[in-house]
Amino acid sequence: MTYLAKPKFHHPSIEVNEIGLTHRDYEGSISTLCAGCGHDSISSAIMHACFELNLPPHRVAKLSGIGCSSKTPTYFLGGAHGFNSVHGRMPSVLTGANAANRELIYLGVSGDGDSASIGFGQFAHSIRRGVNMVYIVANNGVYGLTKGQFSATSDKGAKSKKGAVNTDSPIDLVAMALQLGATFVARSFSGDKDQLVPLIRAAIEHKGPAFIDCISPCVAFNNHDGSTKSFDYVRAHNEAVNTLDFVTERAPITTSYAPGTMQEVKLHDGSSIRLRKIGAGYDVHDRVAAMTYIQSRGAKGEIVTGLIYLENDPGDMHDHLGTVSTPLNQLGDAELVPGQAALDKINASLR
């Protein structure tokens, strides 16, 4: 209910970022999701990451499909244009928007029903196409708005709130994203803000399709015993491969790392992140190894989280298409309309 505006006054000593904005400036309207919903933590992590990156909110375009997760863009970055499109079709709308103006930051928010079922094709093809975007799936394994049906990411054997057992194989969107050529692939947990905020930050900095599967328990329909997407279950089975520390000129990192446990990764804008490895010998640049790793851990019932794969300088859809650097929506008549002289030549060639 976007008409419930929050009061804008704040304490004079509240923290301000480099462009003079406070955390409050990154908020949207009040969430109408259930109290305790994991999705609100994702919204909060997005706001936090944008604040830390000193992003002007209006330079972000936030797009979503349909479902609980897709409602969330209303609840963050009120200064940004938003587009709540149709079920499962956010990726195509985002792709078109990106084609029109390559200079904005595109944040797509979707859910497991939206991306793994009705929109599975669009999810796949937007990633294949190399669209420069952050694609976050708030994954709770269940249809919330229609009250508790299994989704396609529900694990086989998982139990619904009403006691039904899921017999269908699950889709692992991280495995799919790796196979489809996503150049930034991460998984996180809405209950782990320390891990999620730097991942979103790095995903925004990344140029190319950045996919984050964020397990986000549904407190209303999927947080019970027998669920594999409940807070308790995820906490007990979470296996992080790394944690991220950002290195900027303003805030150099002084932490010392034990030999062999640190991997430095340069980002598109020249800054870098340092990955503190937890999984021994895990190389974030090895796509094939990453695919094997998540499969073998998954087989043991573990949920691998962290930055799972990253490709350096991958290029994006605009590079592939060879489009001009000026955003297409800013080209004027002179650049677009060839005029009568060109038409005369065409007419002559058709005689």
Partner 1 sequence: MSIHSVNDFVVRFANINGSGSASANQMFARAIIRMGVPVATRNIFPSNIQGLPTWYEVRVTAEGWQGARGGVDLVVAMNPQTFDKDVASIEPGGYLFYDSSRTIPSSKFRQDITVIGVPLTEICNREYTDSRQRQLFKNIICVGALAALLDMDVTVIEQLLSEQFASKEKLIAANHKALAIGHSWAKHNLSCPIGLTVQRLDAVGDKIYVEGNNAAALGAVYGGATVCAWYPLTPSTSLVEAFGSHTRKLRQEPQTGHKRYALIQAEDELASIGMVVGAAWNGARAFTATSGPGISLMQEFLGLAYYAEIPAVIFNIQRGGPSTGMPTRTQQADLLACAYASHGDTKHVMLFPRDPNEAFSFGAEAFDLADRLQTPVFVMLDLDIGMNHMLVKPFTWDDSRRLDRGKVMTYEDLEGGKLFGRYLDVDGDGIPYRTYPGVHPSKGSYFTRGSSHDSMARYTEEGGPIAENVVRLLKKFDTARTLVPGPVIEPAARPTRLGVIHFGSTGPAMDEAARLLAAAGVDVDVCRVRGFPFSEAVIDFIGAHDQVFVVEQNRDAQLRSLLMIEHGIDPAKLTPVLYFEGPPITARFIAAAITDLVAGAPAARKEKALS
Q: Closest Cα to residue 225, out of 163, 156, 300, 148?
A: 163
Please tell me whether residue 177 binds partner 1 under the rule CB under 8 A: no
CB of 340 to partner 1, least distance (A): 5
For partner 1 (CB under 8 A), the number of binding residues is: 62
* Residues 34, 40: Cα–Cα separation, whole Å: 9
Which DSSP string do the residues of 36-99 spell out, in sequence order? T-HHHHHHHHHHHHHHHTT--GGGEEEEE-SSHHHHGGGGB-TTSEEEE-STT-HHHHHHHHHH
* Residues 19, 307: Cα–Cα separation, whole Å: 28
8 Å CB contact between 132 and 317? yes
Nearer to partner 1, 1 or 35 (CB): 1
Please tell me whether residue 99 binds partner 1 under the rule CB under 8 A: yes
Please tell me whether residue 274 binds partner 1 under the rule CB under 8 A: no
Please tell me whether residue 8 binds partner 1 under the rule CB under 8 A: no
Angle at 157 between CA 239 and CA 296, to 5 degrees: 35
Please tell me whether residue 92 binds partner 1 under the rule CB under 8 A: yes
Please tell me whether residue 80 binds partner 1 under the rule CB under 8 A: yes
Please tell me whether residue 89 binds partner 1 under the rule CB under 8 A: yes
Amino acid at 88: G
The rounded radius of gyration (Å) of the Cα atoms in the chain is: 21
8 Å CB contact between 297 and 239? yes
CB of 211 to partner 1, least distance (A): 17
Using the contact rule CB under 8 A, the part of the chain among 43-51, 164-172, 293-301, 335-343 near partner 1 is 335-343
Please tell me whether residue 145 binds partner 1 under the rule CB under 8 A: no
Using the contact rule CB under 8 A, the part of the chain among 44-52, 118-126, 192-200, 256-264 near partner 1 is 118-126
Q: Where in 19-58 is the site for partner 1 (CB under 8 A)?
A: 56-58
Amino acid at 209: P
Q: Closest Cα to residue 229, out of 307, 136, 152, 121?
A: 152
Nearer to partner 1, 250 or 351 (CB): 351
**How many Cβ atoms are within 10 Å of 278's Cβ, its own excluded?**
14
CB of 6 to partner 1, least distance (A): 15
8 Å CB contact between 279 and 267? no
CB of 2 to partner 1, least distance (A): 5
CB of 118 to partner 1, least distance (A): 10
- Candidate residues 23, 24, 125, 276; the one interacting with partner 1 per rule CB under 8 A: 125
- Candidate residues 45, 50, 69, 73; the one interacting with partner 1 per rule CB under 8 A: 73
Please tell me whether residue 346 binds partner 1 under the rule CB under 8 A: yes
Nearer to partner 1, 64 or 223 (CB): 64
Q: What is the 3-state secondary structure (H, E, C) of 135-154?
A: EEEEECCEECCCCCEECCCC
CB of 312 to partner 1, least distance (A): 23
Q: Where in 211-270 is the site for partner 1 (CB under 8 A)?
A: none
Nearer to partner 1, 2 or 169 (CB): 2
Which DSSP string do the residues of 234-284 spell out, in sequence order? HHHHEEESEEEEEE-SSS-------TTSEEEEE-TTS-EEEEEE-STT--T
- Candidate residues 59, 147, 235, 285; the one interacting with partner 1 per rule CB under 8 A: 59
Nearer to partner 1, 296 or 347 (CB): 347
**How far out from the chain centre does Cα 330 lie?**
27
CB of 243 to partner 1, least distance (A): 33
Q: List contacts with partner 1 (CB under 8 A).
A: 1-3, 56-59, 61, 63, 73-74, 78-86, 89, 91-101, 103-104, 121-122, 124-125, 129, 317-318, 321-325, 328-329, 331, 333, 335-340, 342-343, 346-347, 350-351
